[in-house]
């Protein structure tokens, strides 16, 4: 009973004070009378909460008295973060993202050893086709650095390896200073720091994973003209393919099967919603023929809104239980939204071999709009 009463009257108090602030901010006709009523309700409810908290403190009310302020503070802090982000978004709304053109771009792959994750990060770095790509190791142990260099030369890796002394062992600070120096003072050099991350199966990952890459990325991303990219690599999958009979691999597979069993398969209702069966009068998408007008019915799974100069374009993907169809519009259609069930009439075309058929500016009718509470 004390918990229930405290919870109910706490809600009354918050509602009363919230409406009081609302009337102070907006001051609509009759706001003074409403302010007095709501403020009185808030104060009286607060008194009831205080009486219960004192009278029933030793019977469990102390928990509410301690936890509730902490929760309120946390929620207010989170709300403040969202409001600050919304303010920043309002400031940049309508302004296109500016593309920075650097005269020189540099990319550094941070390495601590030569492993599969590092090789994948080097492969990603080479795919960007930049002229200045280097692997960087911050030396904390001289013997380990020498073994790394020998291993690097033994594997014949083409990316140059730079070893930087880190005598104070403050790795995050050293990476930040190195990145700041690499950016230079003129602002014409863009620096990308690539951080390989070894990812494991959930059971093993909780024991082996650390947050060093996240700490480094947080520091690098604060530096102007620098960005950090974390490249995760599933080491467990490679080990599983090469050594499928290891005891820990069997344990991991059993754990994953248990998680899959608990998650269950996709409910039939969800599958039917995402890929509905065409109603009478509509042709299954898989039976549509290029160059022949057809009427299809399917779920609009995704829609892309793009601006090409002064021209506004929309592109969407419609699916039924037989296939998918791409639709293109050269005019605005504010009535279109993802999740709608559409009946579309038009002439599909084949844009590229192997890709779904596409319709340009077809006629359509919204058969069903998504229910946000029960999709």
Question: Taking the domain 104-239, which CATH number applies?
Answer: 3.40.50.620
- Taking the C-alpha atoms of residue 9 and residue 44, their distance in angstroms, rounded to an integer, is 9
Structure confidence at residue 229 (pLDDT): 93
Structure confidence at residue 207 (pLDDT): 47
C-beta separation of 219 from 226 below 8 A: no
Structure confidence at residue 201 (pLDDT): 55
Q: ∠173-177-181 over CA atoms, to 5°?
A: 170
- Taking the C-alpha atoms of residue 135 and residue 117, their distance in angstroms, rounded to an integer, is 13
User: What are the residues whose beta carbons fall under 8 Å from the beta carbon of 307, sequence distance 6 or more?
Assistant: 313
Structure confidence at residue 202 (pLDDT): 54
Tokens of residue 120, six digits: 């994948």
Structure confidence at residue 375 (pLDDT): 46
Distances (CA, A) of 269 to 15, 37, 266, 302: 39, 48, 8, 19
- Taking the C-alpha atoms of residue 82 and residue 89, their distance in angstroms, rounded to an integer, is 10
What are the residue ranges spanned by the domains of the chain?
Answer: 2-92, 104-239, 272-368
Structure confidence at residue 62 (pLDDT): 76
C-alpha 143: how far from chain center? 40
Question: Taking the domain 272-368, which CATH number applies?
Answer: 2.40.50.140
Ranges of the chain with pLDDT below 50: 203, 206-208, 375
Structure confidence at residue 247 (pLDDT): 73
Q: What's the pLDDT tens digit per position in 188-199? A: 899 999 999 887
C-beta separation of 295 from 278 below 8 A: no
* Side-chain half-sphere CA neighbours of 252 within 13 A: 18
């Amino acid at each position: 009973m004390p918990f229930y009463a405290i919870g109910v009257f706490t809600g009354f108090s918050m509602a009363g004070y919230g409406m009081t602030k609302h009337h102070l901010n907006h001051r609509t006709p009759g706001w003074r009378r409403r302010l007095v009523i709501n403020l009185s309700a808030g104060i009286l409810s607060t008194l009831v909460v205080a009486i219960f908290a004192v009278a029933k403190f030793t019977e469990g009310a102390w928990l509410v008295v301690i936890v509730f302020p902490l929760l309120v503070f946390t929620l207010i802090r989170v709300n403040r973060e969202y409001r600050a982000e919304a303010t920043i978004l309002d400031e940049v709304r309508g302004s296109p993202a500016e593309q920075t053109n650097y005269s020189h771009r540099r990319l550094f792959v941070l390495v601590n050893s030569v492993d599969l994750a590092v090789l994948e990060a080097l492969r990603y770095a080479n795919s960007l086709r930049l002229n200045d790509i280097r692997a960087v190791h911050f030396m904390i142990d001289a013997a380990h650095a020498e073994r790394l260099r020998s291993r690097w030369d033994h594997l014949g890796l083409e990316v140059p390896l730079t070893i930087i002394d880190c005598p104070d062992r403050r790795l995050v600070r050293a990476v930040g200073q190195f990145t700041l120096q690499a950016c230079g003072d003129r602002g014409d050099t863009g620096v990308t720091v690539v951080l390989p991350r070894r990812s494991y199966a959930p059971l093993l990952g909780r024991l082996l994973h650390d947050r060093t890459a996240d700490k480094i990325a947080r520091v690098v991303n604060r530096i102007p003209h620098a960005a950090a990219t974390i490249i995760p690599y599933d080491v467990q999958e490679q080990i599983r393919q090469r050594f499928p009979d290891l005891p820990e691999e069997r344990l991991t597979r059993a754990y994953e099967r248990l998680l899959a069993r608990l998650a269950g398969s996709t409910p039939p209702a969800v599958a039917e919603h995402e890929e509905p069966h065409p109603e009478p009068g509509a042709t299954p998408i898989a039976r549509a023929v290029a160059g022949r007008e057809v009427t299809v019915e399917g779920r609009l799974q995704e829609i892309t809104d793009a601006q090409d100069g002064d021209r506004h374009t929309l592109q969407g993907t419609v699916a039924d239980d037989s296939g998918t169809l791409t639709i293109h519009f050269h005019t605005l259609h504010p009535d279109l939204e993802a999740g709608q069930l559409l009946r579309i009439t038009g002439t599909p075309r084949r844009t590229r071999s192997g890709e779904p058929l596409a319709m340009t500016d077809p006629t359509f009718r919204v058969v069903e709009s998504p229910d946000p509470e029960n999709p």
